[in-house]
Amino acid sequence: MQVYITVLGIIVAILVIAAILGKRNEKRAEKYFRNKAKKNWGKESDIDIRESRRKAIPKYFENHKEKTAIDDITWNDLGLDSIYDRINYCKSGAGQEYLYYRLRTPMQTDDFDAFEKQVDNFTDKEDLRIETQLAFAKMSNYGKYSLYDYIGSLDELKMPSRLPHIIADILILISIAGCFVRFELFLVIIIACLLYNAVTYFVIKGDISPYLYIFGYINRMLGGVDLFKKLDDEVLKEETRDFFKYEKETDSFKRGSWIILDPGRLSNSGDPMNMLLDYICMFTHIDLFKFKSMYNFVKTHGELLDDIVTALGRIETEISVACYRASLDGNYCLPEFTADDTKYDAANLYHPCMNNPVLNSISADKGVLITGSNASGKSTFLKTSAIAAVMAQTIHTVNATSYTAPLYRIYSSMALRDDLAGGDSYYIVEIKSLKRILDAANEDGNRIFCLIDEVLRGTNTIERIAASTQILKSLDHKNIQCFAATHDIELTELLKDYYDNYHFEGEVTDSDVHFSYKIKKGPATNRNAIKLLSIIGYDPKIVADAQNMADEFTKTGTWAE
């Protein structure tokens, strides 16, 4: 007996030491996180999103898509994935997915007061910001999955009845007692029940294993909600007090969840205690019973979980915006939205992802037509103007010294490609893209801000100029403000009554070309495409003959052979 007591004492001592060491490591990790958060304040984000995770980030947006959301064409044209990465300081899956949703859903009303109050609060209170970030870091994310991959597909998982497993467990307990009466008979019954449980366990476990990671995230998320109880801040409470209305419902999910969601078991760590628990679960199915109750909770409380994800995501987005603003060292402004829906006025605009950017300003009360040579800055300026509008209406932050404009619906037609799968040529893709903007203008809603780069580049010169003129006239619509770039200098004269002319230009020398990347009023007055051939090293005869043809056409309006 003394030996058994000694062994039991050693086991207990090991467990106590392991618990103490685990707690110590947790405290060290928290201290490291806090120090790193302080050190990184005012720096660019170092969040590294794996490609598998990136595919899951749009899922919240896809389940909450609004009619005025940024469409895929515009998102890709403007390179908004890179903007998202620059802004993203979110540690949790809820924050990452909500920030993506926010960036794709420009507000259509000037309703940013509560948002600014929270952002300012996190900016001013370092300890609050760091403790809140720590809570989100503990939640982590869903890995390559999103909660929304599963909430809508729970019906596909056919959970077997628990009754056979309950009966098997009861028979095991009865048989253990029966062994004292008829050992051989009841031992056979015990073995049969254990074999039945073991075989069915692996079948069921294989079906439910993909859901365990999502349930694990839900459990961490609900645990993170509990951490907000410790954050005694009146401003933050305005967004978190609703969390605690759900405590009774969520407690049933969390209670006993360790038996199936212990990180050591999920990762097959080889820990002796987890291995022992694995065998107990295999022969009794107690973890599957818990999974069934968790499954029922998620299936019947999808709306509640969605509300929690939304609230958590919104809070972490506000922290992310505070961090992003701090990284700009004051080089940003809060937008001003005007009732004058014809005015776009921005001073010292720059692209959020460019190092040492050239600042540009523009004030336009109608459409803008931009001319200039390749690589002079036209496309970048169009993107920068549109990104300013997107960021103004999503995170209420613009990379400029001032920004005044209406609240827009935002569309672009810029970086298009042939649709090989759909069988459409570049020109067909382009005219479809432009038509979607004209169709949207005929729908109810805010004024449209549209960006078009190289109008109808996919067709011949004569038809391009004719069609471009009429399409751009149509885009000079009471419900559209259009910024367009073109190489066709003829459009500046044809559309002078509809669009203000601006241009970018470069200075070509005998050996190089220099661009100022500064926008200037008026149409482009010089052309350098042929001169660039010489700089690249083309045969001088090709360059001279091309220049002579261009000069002749300019004089006579006809092409010489």
pLDDT per residue over 38-56, tens digit each?
999 999 998 888 888 888 8
Confidence (pLDDT) at 327:
96
Contact between residue 293 and residue 252 where contact means Cβ atoms under 8 Å apart:
yes
Nearest to 260 by CA among 278, 284, 279: 278
DSSP-derived secondary structure for 303-321: HHHHHHHHHHHHHHHHHHH
Neighbours of 102 (CB within 10 A): 23
Find all residues with CB under 8 Å of 101, minimum gap 6, and list them: 60, 61, 64, 313
Confidence (pLDDT) at 461:
75
In a domain, residue 314? The reply is yes
Tell me which range, 125-129, 259-263, 528-532, is most confidently predicted by mean pLDDT.
125-129
Q: At what angle do helices 183-227 and 126-139 cross, to 10 degrees?
A: 150
Question: What is the arithmetic mean of pLDDT over 185-206?
Answer: 77
Confidence (pLDDT) at 87:
96
The answer to whether residue 269 scores a pLDDT higher than 60 is no
Who wins on pLDDT, 139 or 410?
A: 410
The answer to whether residue 401 scores a pLDDT higher than 90 is yes
Residue 9, domain extent: 1-40
CA 127 → CA 130, 133, 229, distances in Å?
Answer: 5, 10, 15
User: What is the distance of C-alpha 549 from the center of its chain?
Assistant: 51
Asked whether residue 257 falls in the same domain as residue 395, the answer is: no
Asked whether residue 26 falls in the same domain as residue 114, the answer is: no
Question: What is the arithmetic mean of pLDDT over 366-385?
Answer: 88
In a domain, residue 532? The reply is no
In a domain, residue 255? The reply is yes
Chosen domain end from 284, 309, 327: 327
The answer to whether residue 433 scores a pLDDT higher than 90 is no
Asked whether residue 127 falls in the same domain as residue 180, the answer is: yes
Q: In CATH, what number is assigned to the domain containing residue 65?
A: 1.10.1420.10
Q: In CATH, what number is assigned to the domain containing residue 479?
A: 3.40.50.300
The answer to whether residue 372 scores a pLDDT higher than 90 is no
Who wins on pLDDT, 69 or 244?
A: 69
Neighbours of 324 (CB within 10 A): 21
Kindly report the pTM of this predicted structure: 0.85
Confidence (pLDDT) at 3:
63
Confidence (pLDDT) at 351:
95
Percent of the chain with pLDDT over 70: 86
In a domain, residue 549? The reply is no
Asked whether residue 314 falls in the same domain as residue 353, the answer is: no
For strand 506-508 and strand 409-413, is the pairing parallel, antiparallel, or unpaired? Answer: unpaired
Neighbours of 486 (CB within 10 A): 25
CA-based torsion, 471, 472, 478, 482: positive or negative:
positive
Asked whether residue 207 falls in the same domain as residue 342, the answer is: no
Residue found under tokens 């829906």:
341
d(CA 218, CA 232): 24
Sheet holding 499-503, edge to edge: 409-413, 448-453, 480-486, 367-371, 499-503, 520-521
In a domain, residue 124? The reply is yes
In a domain, residue 13? The reply is yes
Asked whether residue 145 falls in the same domain as residue 93, the answer is: yes
Asked whether residue 137 falls in the same domain as residue 74, the answer is: yes
Q: Indicate the pLDDT class of residue 418, thresholds 50, 70 and 90.
A: very low
Contact between residue 407 and residue 109 where contact means Cβ atoms under 8 Å apart:
yes
In a domain, residue 48? The reply is no
In a domain, residue 554? The reply is no
Confidence (pLDDT) at 421:
44
DSSP-derived secondary structure for 421-467: TTTB-HHHHHHHHHHHHHHHHTSSSSPEEEEEESTTTTS-HHHHHHH
Question: What is the arithmetic mean of pLDDT over 480-489?
Answer: 89
pLDDT digits (tens, 9 = 90+) for 283-335: 676 777 778 888 888 888 888 888 889 999 999 999 999 999 999 999 999 99
The answer to whether residue 10 scores a pLDDT higher than 70 is yes
Chosen domain end from 327, 348, 365: 327
Average pLDDT, the chain: 83
- Into how many domains does the chain fold? 3
Chosen domain end from 309, 327, 345: 327
Tell me which range, 2-11, 89-98, 142-151, is most confidently predicted by mean pLDDT.
89-98
Confidence (pLDDT) at 57:
92
Neighbours of 329 (CB within 10 A): 8
The answer to whether residue 492 scores a pLDDT higher than 70 is yes
Q: For residue 402, what are the β-bridge partners?
A: 347
The H helix count followed by the E strand count for the chain is: 24, 12
Torsion angle in degrees (nearest 10) through CA of 147, 152, 156, 159: 70
User: What is the distance of C-alpha 296 from the center of its chain?
Assistant: 29
The answer to whether residue 387 scores a pLDDT higher than 50 is yes
Confidence (pLDDT) at 416:
62
Contact between residue 497 and residue 369 where contact means Cβ atoms under 8 Å apart:
no
Asked whether residue 318 falls in the same domain as residue 394, the answer is: no
Q: Using only C-alpha atoms, what is the Rg of the chain?
A: 32
